[in-house]
Amino acid sequence: MNAPREAIAWFPVIDPDLCNSCSSCYDFCPKDVFAPAAVEEGLRHRPKMTVANPYNCIVLCSACMKVCAADAISFPPRADFEQYVEYLD
């Protein structure tokens, strides 16, 4: 990459209305990007998943989208981020 990671806003966004707290993304991501929200007193279902470490996400990876059966994970347009990656021959 040709810029500091924190300058590159590539990371997943979870739609909380679609997330069913299945934890598939949490189990799948090798970079610890996801974490369940804190358990609230009186909560009657598992806490929603959150993007706890967004800048751990690998720029232009979007593999976790495929493991989310609820289609709750999205990313910004890839074309906007190609400029940050230098490909080696």
Q: Which one, 79 or 89, has the nearer CB to ligand SF4? A: 79
Cβ nearer to ligand SF4, comparing 45 with 89: 45
The one-letter code for the residue type at 53 is: N
How many Å apart are CA 10 and CA 65, to the nearest integer?
13
Is there binding between residue 12 and ligand SF4 (CB under 6 A)?
A: yes
DSSP 7: G
Nearer of residues 59 and 89 to ligand SF4, judged by Cβ: 59
Q: Quote the CA–CA distance of 87 and 75 in Å, as a whole number.
A: 21
Asked if 70 is part of the footprint of ligand SF4 (rule: CB under 6 A), the reply reads: yes
Q: Is 8 in the site for ligand SF4 (CB under 6 A)?
A: no
**Residues in contact with 53: Cβ distance below 8 Å, sequence separation at least 6, in sequence order:** 31, 32, 33, 35
Q: State the residues that interact with ligand SF4 by CB under 6 A.
A: 12, 14, 19-25, 28-29, 31, 33, 49, 57-58, 61-64, 67-68, 70, 72-73
